Structure 1
Amino acid sequence: MLSFDASFFHNLSLGIWRSDVVAFLLVVFLVRLFLKSRSRIRSTQLHGPKSNNVLFGVLPQVSPMSGGMDNYFKRAIADYGTVFNLPSGFGRQDLVVCDAKAISHILSRDTFTYYRPAFARVLTDILFGQGIFSFENDGHRRLRKALTPAFSNAAIRSYIETFNDNSFKMKAAWDSIIDAVAGGSATIEVQQWMNNLALENLGRTGFSHHFGALEGKRPELIDAFDSFQSPGNMGFASKMVFLLSTNFPVLLNLPTKHTKMMRRVRYAMKGIADDVLEKAKAELETNAAGEKITDKSIVGLLVKAESTSGNLSMTSEEVLAQNSLFFAGYETTSITLTWALIELCRNPQVQEKLRQEVNTKLQGADPTWEEITLGLPYLDAVTQETLRVHGPVHNIRREAFEDDVLPLSKPVQTTSGTSTSEIIVAKGQGIHIPTTCINTSEDLWGPDAAEYKPERWLGELSPGAQAIQGHHHVLSFGEGQRFCLGRHFALANFKSALVNLVRHYSFELPNGKDTIIGKHFGAINRPKVEGEKGPRVPLLIRRVD
């Protein structure tokens, strides 16, 4: 009699599973080739980079975690112009669009022809559950409408006090560090502090939750975000699945190491979501008794907006899904603040000019909503220039859900040698809008486009830049019907923090202005001082007040 141990059955089932996956991929590959051959007939044939990688095309080069996306797109734009084809594996030809007129058409608030691609929606569902990033059309409109009151000017005005309070908590911690070192200055790793500040601001205003990050606590959520962000934590299988998921989103449901880390981000917020629900229920009961509701947090307001006749229509899972706001607000704000401090170090004249404006206009008082919105023009210029040069999102992805004709501001050459001012886009075709390349394009911004010059915002922008319809003519917050709902919240968060930093401290790079700044590559890239392990940005900080 034959005998088999457990490992035999495990290996047998694993082999069957692998063969099923291979067979599945082969069938989908053949179907994909057939569909793409038809789409190539319908879509305008353009020049573009070539690739011999039948599985991935050039996706490994343009993945955020590759570290080469911006440079790759810049070289391709120089070679092929503002609109070109991009091989993306399995016979797929995506479209890269850097033409201002075409971008406005794709992101137009009046059309829903172009959606977020399926793999991006599956990815956010795994990370957060079905929140605002998961839906299109009516579902997206419903959630935007529900969230809008939490991001109104009146709501954000009430958050400024929280932002200022947290800035002073950080100041107290920094003063203690400086006081412990002789000479009135200290080297402080600022990026982690910007993480802590952004997390605490989002925690209190977003969820009425105090993480204690500014008091030395290490919330589990930060560990979950950091593990997900680090490409070093991705094994070979995870990388393969991540790249293949662009064409086969269902693969993201496989239990790889990386997808497990993504789910860890989701469940790190579950306790907080449950607390928000309990508070909302209690306040609805209190309101029924005629007393004033006090919880004005973003998710608290969302729960109330979704309530009907005092009964909650939102489940804990639905509340949990709104922690997508954390990823959108926490990562982007902390990264942009860190870049702002780096640029102030590189440009000491900008740092001093900003400090003088803050001290002259505020006279030592806490910044208000009105002051950071309208009363500090050079602060606004520094903010806009930081977002232009160092926008945290480098590539907007869309997919055509029906055939369309894309208008261009300048004609391009097709592969047949003809010139055209319109591009036929086939249903299912992927779209890349490389925002960093567009925000720093010499054609749009002039010959000094790559330079950090806040003064450009104090005069009239070039006609090319004005052709971009995004917030203040940059694409860092997107454009059109899916523009960043929390952009005014993010700007208030950023500006209040920067005001409170420059009024109390001066900043220098550890090796002066020549300090080399690199990037730590992940789902969203972070700055780092070259030679440091991980995304660390130590700066020499001294008190000036």
Structure 2
Amino acid sequence: MNLSPLDIAALSVAAYIVGHLVTRSFRRAVDLSGPPRDSFLLGSRKALNDAPDAAVLFEQWAREYGPAYRVSMPLGADAVVLMDPKALAHFFSKETVTYVATPLGKFFTENLIGKGSLLVASGDVHKRQRKLLTPGFSTAAIRKLTEVFYDSAYKAKTAWDNLIESNPDGSIIEVQQWMNNISLDTVGIAGFSHDFGTLQGQQADVADVFHSLGHAPAKPSLMRMLIFNLAPHIPWLFKIPSKRSSILTKLNESMGQISEMLLSRTREQKAEGEEDKSVIGLLIKAENSDSSLYMSQEEVMAQMKLLIIAGYETTSISMTWALIELAQRPDIQTKLRDELSAFGSDPTYDQFTSGLLYLDAVVNEILRLHPPLSELSRQAAEADIIPLSTPTRTASGGLTSFVGVHKGTRMLIPIRAINRLTSLWGPDAAEFRPSRWLSSSIPGEGKEGGIPESARAVQGYKNMLTFSDGPKTCLGRTFAVTEFKTVLSVLIRNFTFELRDGPKSNLKFETTPGLLPRPKLEGESGTTVPLRVRRAD
């Protein structure tokens, strides 16, 4: 949809009027200091959008104003940013009850995957849904799924062997697309007993739509930026026709079609006495109205779509970043390959959890530096008092050891910034250094090993917020980490990775908007991550 300057002006005026009415009841900021408002229309979002790295700006503000501070939001509203470990622990412990999905988050999620998903559920509804789905992601379930992860990894290995066969110097492979295929085929088999077949060249509508999302411009247009930043106050702005909204609609339709097909097939198998123990089997069982963990058909469909998105997007992004980081650091890549090669066989699930320390360190460092979700936004459903471990500045210039929030206050948790805070992780917090995860007792690591005590103050998986924390911590965390380790172990043992133009080239990578931010080679279109891949010696 092409809008003229007059259209944009009219939209802005309308947004101002409606936004003024919507935000009037909670515009009053909590008593915290924060950066000045440099744009009434966009608030601090303008500075964050313009910053080369928003995580650096979040940390800069924390140093200046304290570990909890106020940022201005579009149309005169405010939000509280939490970067204090004690405050974060309190916040996450109360998620789903005191801190819930924002109207925009709920609106966007319901339009993408339907109503009733675990992602935006709160209170008792969230407890019921999570209890029902938990067996599908238990240790016993993931242990059995490890062979599925290996199957996908070896399919990619076979295809890459064929590509490299006629080129002893290696082939340029667009690795992100392959990581996408691995993730989609894996979640299809593990979650729904369905093989999308993308690793063997089959077309999948869902994969095509996901791929098209990666071709959005790296820098959003003025119109898109206005819509995105005003939508928290006027969610229906997301319904304005655009290329992106049409893609999201198509994604919803594609996921709906495949979900309906899979549900129908599984219902038929159940009627014939076959029991599917995958996640879809649990959902079918929950459709029984006599079950104490009953789910409506609308809820079942929403969970299926959520599983497709989560299983596809997050893991493929993490695995792509791993290959990028290792391609730029041959010494770390070699050390990891040596550990994996010395192991002598395909590790089991239990060996992944305790027997491969350097692989664990590399995976942890990727998850720390490149969380798929960079920010978390919530809204206070009731008034609350949040304790702080370090005093923060008030609006009047004093200090306070707690933050009082009103009902309706917007809360912002900058996950990526917290994962790389120098006050927690040390002066090299932004560097890719897997050895920080290794104990100082490990030979060759010296005193530099082991994460700092300050970082241990953050709760969550491995003292990171990559998988969130509290009652809403990612249910598929063990699934994702095990798949990540399995695929990386196969690829690194069998191949070496370099930057496309050689190890000394100055190629840089940036992120581009997809459903979640994805890596891409700077200056190239789409989500392109071409690396030179050779067989390992």
TM-score, length basis structure 1: 0.88
Aligned residues: percent identity? 38
Instruction: Give the aligned partner of residue 437 of structure 2.
Output: 457
User: Which range moved further: 85-94 or 24-33?
Assistant: 24-33
Taking a change above 3 Å as real, the CA distance of residues 312 and 385 of structure 1, as seen in their structure-2 partners, is closer
Q: Equivalent residue of 2:519, what SS?
A: strand
Q: Equivalent residue of 1:270, what SS?
A: helix
Q: Equivalent residue of 2:217, what SS?
A: helix
CA distance in structure 1 between the partners assigned to 2:488 and 2:315 by the alignment? 11
User: Which range moved further: 108-117 or 484-493?
Assistant: 108-117
For the 8 Å contact 2:136–2:282, the answer to whether it is kept is: yes
Aligned with 1:156 (options 138, 142, 159): 142
Instruction: Give the aligned partner of residue 307 of structure 1.
Output: 288
Taking a change above 3 Å as real, the CA distance of residues 33 and 544 of structure 1, as seen in their structure-2 partners, is closer
Residue 134 of structure 1 deviates from its aligned partner by 2.7
| AA aligned opposite 2:100 | Y
Instruction: Give the aligned partner of residue 259 of structure 1.
Output: 245
Count of residue pairs brought into register by the alignment: 516
Instruction: Give the aligned partner of residue 544 of structure 1.
Output: 536
Instruction: Give the aligned partner of residue 403 of structure 1.
Output: 383
Instruction: Give the aligned partner of residue 516 of structure 1.
Output: 507
Instruction: Give the aligned partner of residue 270 of structure 2.
Output: 284
Instruction: Give the aligned partner of residue 4 of structure 1.
Output: none
Instruction: Give the aligned partner of residue 7 of structure 1.
Output: none
Aligned with 1:425 (options 369, 388, 405): 405
Taking a change above 3 Å as real, the CA distance of residues 125 and 310 of structure 1, as seen in their structure-2 partners, is closer
Residue 337 of structure 1 deviates from its aligned partner by 0.7
CA distance in structure 1 between the partners assigned to 2:74 and 2:222 by the alignment? 18
For the 8 Å contact 1:205–1:296, the answer to whether it is kept is: no
Q: Does 1:246 align with 2:232?
A: yes
For the 8 Å contact 1:515–1:529, the answer to whether it is kept is: no
Residue 313 of structure 1 deviates from its aligned partner by 6.4
For the 8 Å contact 2:214–2:527, the answer to whether it is kept is: no
| AA aligned opposite 2:521 | V
Taking a change above 3 Å as real, the CA distance of residues 357 and 399 of structure 1, as seen in their structure-2 partners, is same
For the 8 Å contact 1:101–1:408, the answer to whether it is kept is: yes
Instruction: Give the aligned partner of residue 337 of structure 1.
Output: 319
**Unmatched tracts of structure 1, length 5 or more:** 1-14
| AA aligned opposite 2:365 | E
Residue 25 of structure 1 deviates from its aligned partner by 4.1
| AA aligned opposite 1:422 | F
Q: Deviations over 1:189-214 (max 9, x none)?
A: 11111111111111111222222211
Taking a change above 3 Å as real, the CA distance of residues 309 and 100 of structure 1, as seen in their structure-2 partners, is closer
CA distance in structure 2 between the partners assigned to 1:110 and 1:435 by the alignment? 15
Residue 243 of structure 1 deviates from its aligned partner by 2.0
Instruction: Give the aligned partner of residue 369 of structure 1.
Output: 349
CA distance in structure 2 between the partners assigned to 1:377 and 1:74 by the alignment? 30
Aligned with 1:491 (options 459, 478, 481): 481
Q: Deviations over 1:53-75 (max 9, x none)?
A: 22221224446x98643343233
Instruction: Give the aligned partner of residue 8 of structure 1.
Output: none
User: Which range moved further: 309-318 or 219-228?
Assistant: 309-318
Taking a change above 3 Å as real, the CA distance of residues 429 and 466 of structure 1, as seen in their structure-2 partners, is same
Instruction: Give the aligned partner of residue 446 of structure 2.
Output: none
Residue 239 of structure 1 deviates from its aligned partner by 4.1
| AA aligned opposite 2:483 | N
Q: Deviations over 1:35-82 (max 9, x none)?
A: 235x33xx22x222223422221224446x986433432332343332
Q: Does 1:534 align with 2:534?
A: no
Q: Equivalent residue of 2:124, what SS?
A: helix
| AA aligned opposite 1:530 | E
The CA RMSD measured in Å over matched residues stands at 2.7
Taking a change above 3 Å as real, the CA distance of residues 33 and 207 of structure 1, as seen in their structure-2 partners, is closer
Instruction: Give the aligned partner of residue 466 of structure 2.
Output: 476
| AA aligned opposite 1:516 | L
Residue 218 of structure 1 deviates from its aligned partner by 3.5
For the 8 Å contact 1:115–1:136, the answer to whether it is kept is: yes
Residue 357 of structure 1 deviates from its aligned partner by 1.6
Instruction: Give the aligned partner of residue 165 of structure 1.
Output: 151
Aligned with 2:332 (options 347, 350, 353): 350
Instruction: Give the aligned partner of residue 394 of structure 1.
Output: 374
Taking a change above 3 Å as real, the CA distance of residues 411 and 188 of structure 1, as seen in their structure-2 partners, is same
Residue 492 of structure 1 deviates from its aligned partner by 0.8
Residue 111 of structure 1 deviates from its aligned partner by 7.0
Instruction: Give the aligned partner of residue 413 of structure 1.
Output: 393
Q: Deviations over 1:279-319 (max 9, x none)?
A: 332232233xxxx52x2332232222443469996565433
CA distance in structure 2 between the partners assigned to 1:205 and 1:487 by the alignment? 14
CA distance in structure 1 between the partners assigned to 2:247 and 2:48 by the alignment? 22
CA distance in structure 1 between the partners assigned to 2:452 and 2:534 by the alignment? 38
Taking a change above 3 Å as real, the CA distance of residues 518 and 512 of structure 1, as seen in their structure-2 partners, is same
Q: Equivalent residue of 2:374, what SS?
A: coil
Instruction: Give the aligned partner of residue 114 of structure 2.
Output: 129
For the 8 Å contact 1:273–1:316, the answer to whether it is kept is: no
CA distance in structure 2 between the partners assigned to 1:534 and 1:449 by the alignment? 29
Residue 32 of structure 1 deviates from its aligned partner by 3.8
User: Which range moved further: 77-86 or 374-383?
Assistant: 77-86
Instruction: Give the aligned partner of residue 299 of structure 2.
Output: 318
Q: Equivalent residue of 2:194, what SS?
A: coil
Taking a change above 3 Å as real, the CA distance of residues 412 and 206 of structure 1, as seen in their structure-2 partners, is same
Q: Deviations over 1:203-238 (max 9, x none)?
A: 111222222211223322123223344433976655
Q: Equivalent residue of 2:80, what SS?
A: strand
Q: Which has the larger radius of gyration?
A: 1
Q: Equivalent residue of 2:119, what SS?
A: helix
Instruction: Give the aligned partner of residue 435 of structure 1.
Output: 415
CA distance in structure 2 between the partners assigned to 1:339 and 1:276 by the alignment? 31
TM-score, length basis structure 2: 0.89
Q: Equivalent residue of 1:503, what SS?
A: helix
CA distance in structure 1 between the partners assigned to 2:531 and 2:288 by the alignment? 48
Give the alignment of 1:203-242 within 5 angstroms: 203-232=188-217, 237-242=223-228
For the 8 Å contact 2:390–2:401, the answer to whether it is kept is: yes
Taking a change above 3 Å as real, the CA distance of residues 179 and 229 of structure 1, as seen in their structure-2 partners, is closer
Taking a change above 3 Å as real, the CA distance of residues 282 and 36 of structure 1, as seen in their structure-2 partners, is closer
CA distance in structure 2 between the partners assigned to 1:413 and 1:26 by the alignment? 30
Aligned with 2:77 (options 92, 107, 112): 92
CA distance in structure 1 between the partners assigned to 2:121 and 2:522 by the alignment? 40
For the 8 Å contact 2:172–2:532, the answer to whether it is kept is: yes
Q: Equivalent residue of 1:432, what SS?
A: strand
Q: Deviations over 1:16-45 (max 9, x none)?
A: 9x98x78864553332453235x33xx22x
Residue 347 of structure 1 deviates from its aligned partner by 2.2
User: Which range moved further: 488-497 or 408-417?
Assistant: 408-417
Residue 276 of structure 1 deviates from its aligned partner by 2.1
CA distance in structure 1 between the partners assigned to 2:259 and 2:176 by the alignment? 27
Instruction: Give the aligned partner of residue 9 of structure 1.
Output: none
Aligned with 1:525 (options 517, 529, 532): 517
Residue 470 of structure 1 deviates from its aligned partner by 1.0
For the 8 Å contact 1:384–1:472, the answer to whether it is kept is: yes
Q: Deviations over 1:144-179 (max 9, x none)?
A: 111111111111112111111111111111011001
CA distance in structure 2 between the partners assigned to 1:118 and 1:194 by the alignment? 33
For the 8 Å contact 2:35–2:70, the answer to whether it is kept is: yes
CA distance in structure 2 between the partners assigned to 1:133 and 1:378 by the alignment? 33
CA distance in structure 2 between the partners assigned to 1:198 and 1:219 by the alignment? 13
Residue 329 of structure 1 deviates from its aligned partner by 2.2
Aligned with 1:144 (options 127, 130, 140): 130
CA distance in structure 2 between the partners assigned to 1:71 and 1:224 by the alignment? 32
Taking a change above 3 Å as real, the CA distance of residues 311 and 101 of structure 1, as seen in their structure-2 partners, is closer
